[in-house]
Amino acid sequence: MFTGIIEATGVLKELTLKGGDLALRVQSHNLDMSDVQLGDSIATNGVCLTVVAKHSDGFSADVSNETLGLTRFSQYQKGQKVNLEKALQATSRLGGHLVSGHVDGIAEIVSSNSNGRATEYWLQAPENLMKYIPYKGSVAIDGISLTVNAVEKNRFKLTIVPHTAQETTIADFKVGTKVNLEVDQISRYLERLIQGQSSAASESTLTTGLLAKAGFIK
């Protein structure tokens, strides 16, 4: 479990096809590895990866075909800059929101403009995920916890302050950039709870009326 508060950035130093999937090495001179053990989880551009080898300047991990099919890792190249966050500890501040590191889909930046010292980005997301992206809700973009400031059809807007841009990969974002998207976990679990096991395989029927009937809203 993570918070979406990025601790450091790193680069992909090695990408090796291995046994049909991918092995990689991440280098970061800013991520504190002193308390990292083999088997620990580190979110890498929003993807929960397991440390299989520890180095003085980073770590190695494996990426399964399942992960390659759902994330941007299949398009990453050597030298790719990535956001890094170690797993949440029980004593840590929850500065962002609960992030699982399980990417739901890919979003694409379709426009950007300045607003004071901040930058506003509009992103297009898969239609089936937009129901989980409410106004003033939380999303994780390449592992970064961000607040949704507007929603229109299959697009949503993010407002990025200078500090966030400086401490993450957002400074490299531009129109056409595709990013890993994880929606808020609460909305997904809430939908599953209301649907019940009898409709687990059916299309989502989550509506405001159903939420009201279940007592979640008035």
Q: Using alpha carbons, select from 182, 141, 149, 186 the residue that is nearest to residue 165.
A: 141
On average, the pLDDT of the chain sits at 91
The second-level CATH assignment, the architecture, of 105-186 is Beta Barrel (2.40)
Tokens read off for 123: 């992103």
Question: What is the model's pLDDT at position 205?
Answer: 64
> What are the backbone angles phi and psi of residue 206, rounded to the nearest 5°?
-70, 120
> Using 50, 70 and 90 to split pLDDT, how confident is the model at 204?
low
Place of tokens 């229109």: 152
> What are the backbone angles phi and psi of residue 72, rounded to the nearest 5°?
-85, 0
CATH number of 8-86: 2.40.30.20
Question: What is the model's pLDDT at position 100?
Answer: 94
DSSP 5: -
Reported as a single tens digit per residue, the pLDDT across 62-100 is 999 999 999 999 999 999 999 999 999 888 888 889 899
Is-same-fold flag (8-86; 105-186)? Answer: yes
Q: What percent of the chain has a predicted confidence (pLDDT) above 90?
A: 77
Give, in order, the Cα–Cα distances in Å from 63 to each of 22, 50, 114.
5, 9, 36
Question: What is the model's pLDDT at position 214?
Answer: 67
Break the chain into its structural domains and give their ranges. Answer: 8-86, 105-186
86 vs 203, more confident: 86
Predicted confidence (pLDDT) at residue 201 exceeds the cutoff of 70? no
Question: What is the model's pLDDT at position 92?
Answer: 80
Question: What is the model's pLDDT at position 69?
Answer: 93
> Using 50, 70 and 90 to split pLDDT, how confident is the model at 172?
very high
Who's near 116: CB < 8 A, 6+ residues apart?
Answer: none
Kindly report the pTM of this predicted structure.
Answer: 0.86
